[in-house]
Amino acid sequence: MNLSEIIKGEKDQGKEKHIPHIMIDRGHEDGKDIVRVVVGHDSPHPNTESHHIAWIELHGVEKHTGQVINLGRTTWTPVYSNPDVRFQINHIEDFGAFCALAYCTVHGVWGNLIEIDWIEEKREDTSVIGEALLAEN
């Protein structure tokens, strides 16, 4: 058995949306960098006692060493909360990719990976702000 048989992706998706959608917000509030992960971004995932997203994990891949770092995990109570989480990431520019995993109590583990190419560009206020070009896999 291969890991790709356990962690499902876009090709496995049906009517219910399971893929963890990853978004990056540089300098969100007070210059804090946020990585947001949502399951059911375009279409809500079921959220019942028997069928819900139980947890989401976020991993970062360090761009120089390739080391995978577990950045956090969050869990939900079905019915009363939704699979939408924000991770505040320090030194976000140290990462070349982010991987999110989500567990559906009926359909198993789902994953998504985005690779990042950080571009430094000057803004009108003359500060240097890094931006990311994202390629979702």
Look at residue 129 in the predicted model and tell me its pLDDT: 37
Domains in the chain and their CATH numbers?
A: 3-136 (2.60.40.730)
Look at residue 58 in the predicted model and tell me its pLDDT: 98
Using a 10 angstrom Cβ sphere, with 0-12 exposed, 13-18 middle and 19 or more buried, the burial of residue 14 is exposed
Look at residue 15 in the predicted model and tell me its pLDDT: 66
Q: Mapping DSSP to helix (H, G, I), strand (E, B) and coil, where does residue 92 land?
A: helix
Look at residue 69 in the predicted model and tell me its pLDDT: 97
Nearest Cα to Cα of residue 7 among 125, 133, 100: 100
Low-confidence ranges of the chain (pLDDT < 70): 14-16, 119-137
Other C-beta atoms closer than 10 Å to the C-beta of 100 total 25
pTM higher than 0.85:
no
Look at residue 3 in the predicted model and tell me its pLDDT: 75
Look at residue 40 in the predicted model and tell me its pLDDT: 86
Look at residue 89 in the predicted model and tell me its pLDDT: 95
Look at residue 54 in the predicted model and tell me its pLDDT: 96
Alpha helices in 15-126 (DSSP H): none
